[in-house]
Amino acid sequence: EIAELHPESRVDLANIEKSAGLLSVEAAQRLITYGKNSLTPPPKTPEWKLLLKQFQNTFLMLLNASAVLSLVAYFLTKDLTNLYLAIVLAVVVFVTGYGQYHEESKAYKIIDSFSRMLATTCTVIRDGKHQQVHVDQLVPGDLVLVNNGDKVPADMVLLLCRGLKTENSSLTGESEPISCTDQVSSAGTRMFECK
C-alpha cells in the first residue's frame, strides 16, 4: 500500500533497506508544493503585556475597586481602618497579580523548552544514498532512518524496525520505554495503545 501511495519514493518492500528513496528533484518539488516540515511559532507576548494582563482579571479588578473605595472613604471620614483596608487590598492585588504573572511566565518558558527538544537534523534516503537533512526539509514520501537515541523528526509510518523502543514519558507519563513493532495494529485500537 505504501509503495502504491508513494511510488516516487521507490520503496522496495521486499528489501526495504535497499530502497532508493525520492529523487532530490522530486523532494525539491514537494517542498515547494507542501512547504517546510515546521510549525510557525505564535508571536511572543512581551513580558510587560503579560504582567498587565494579570491585573485585568475580574476578581483583581473588584479588589482594586474596593481598595479605591476604601481610600475614598478614608479621605472622607479620616478613619484609619479604611486606609489600612485600602493598603491591604492593594498589596493583595499586587501579590496575586505578580504571582499569576510569574506562573504564566514559567509556563511559557517550559513550552519554549519543548522546541529545543525537537530533532534538528535527520537521515533520509534520497537518490539511493543516505543523506543528512534539516528536519524542515522533510517532505511527504521521504524514507527516514531513525536509530537508537534519535528524536523522531515528523509523523511517520514504520516500514521496518528491529528492537524499537520509544520513550513516551512526555506524552503518557510512563517512565519505562515501550517496545514497538512494524506490524499494523488492529482496527479500533486507540493511538496510545498501538505498539
Query: What confidence tens digit (pLDDT) does each residue in 89-131 have?
Result: 999 999 999 999 999 999 888 878 777 777 788 888 898 899 9
pLDDT digits (tens, 9 = 90+) for 24-53: 999 999 999 999 988 777 788 899 999 999
Q: Which residues of 114-136 are buried (b: 16+ CB within 10 A; e: fewer)?
A: eeeeeeeebebbbeeeeeebebe
| Residue whose C-alpha cell reads 499586587 in the numeric block | 94
CA nearest 137: which of 30, 11, 8? 30
How buried is residue 10: exposed, middle or buried, by Cβ count under 10 Å (0-12/13-18/19+)?
buried
Q: What is the pTM of this model?
A: 0.58
Query: Domain locations in the chain?
Result: 47-116, 161-195
Cell numbers at 72, concatenated: 475614598
